[in-house]
């Protein structure tokens, strides 16, 4: 569910969590979101110190860890909950995100249009603990499984 492994290692990133935002259903569970009835997107929430890392730097990571040309799909995962979206908290963040999207489109890095949505942040609902630090847990399980085989 999450792709935050790279982000949490940056100096200035204070905390990360994954959850849901952008829907119309209060306190959704993972199964609610998976059912596609809530309208939520699966998101990463990042607390950071802007004196140590910029919003632009965080967005650069965002653009690099997913395909912004696919609106409702990331890798094998399909559905509205996997949409490419940036939720901004301030007018300045909206301007920075919009400019970054435009710059990426003009760069020619992608043949298709950048379809990432940029919308105001709303209520954030924390995903259950099994989804937090998912990549780290998955990697630890893979290493343990490998060690059992040798």
Q: Which domains does the chain have, with CATH numbers?
A: 5-142 (3.30.1060.10)
pLDDT tens string 67-103: 999 989 888 889 899 999 999 999 999 999 999 999 9
Give the pLDDT score at 130: 66
> Is residue 45 within 8 Å of 13, Cβ to Cβ?
no
Say if pTM beats, i.e. exceeds, 0.95: no
Q: Using CA atoms, how far apart are residues 74 and 82, in angstroms rounded to an integer? A: 6
Q: How confident is the model at residue 1 (pLDDT cuts 50, 70, 90)?
A: very low
> Is residue 40 within 8 Å of 72, Cβ to Cβ?
no
DSSP code, position 4: -
pLDDT tens string 104-115: 999 999 999 999
> Is residue 85 within 8 Å of 117, Cβ to Cβ?
yes
Let me know how long the chain is: 150
């Amino acid at each position: 569910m999450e792709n935050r492994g790279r982000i949490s290692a940056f100096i200035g990133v204070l905390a990360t969590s994954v959850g849901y935002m952008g829907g119309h259903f209060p306190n959704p569970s993972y199964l609610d979101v998976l059912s596609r009835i809530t309208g939520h997107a699966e998101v990463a929430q990042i607390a950071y110190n802007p004196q140590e890392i910029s919003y632009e730097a965080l967005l650069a990571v965002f653009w690099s860890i997913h395909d912004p040309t696919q609106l409702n799909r990331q890798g094998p995962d399909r559905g509205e909950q996997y949409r490419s979206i940036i939720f901004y908290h301030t007018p300045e963040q909206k301007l920075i995100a919009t400019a970054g999207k435009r710059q990426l489109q003009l760069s020619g890095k992608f043949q298709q249009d950048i379809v990432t949505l940029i919308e105001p942040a709303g209520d954030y609902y924390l995903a259950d603990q099994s989804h937090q630090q998912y990549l780290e847990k998955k990697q630890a399980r893979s290493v343990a499984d490998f060690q059992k085989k040798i």
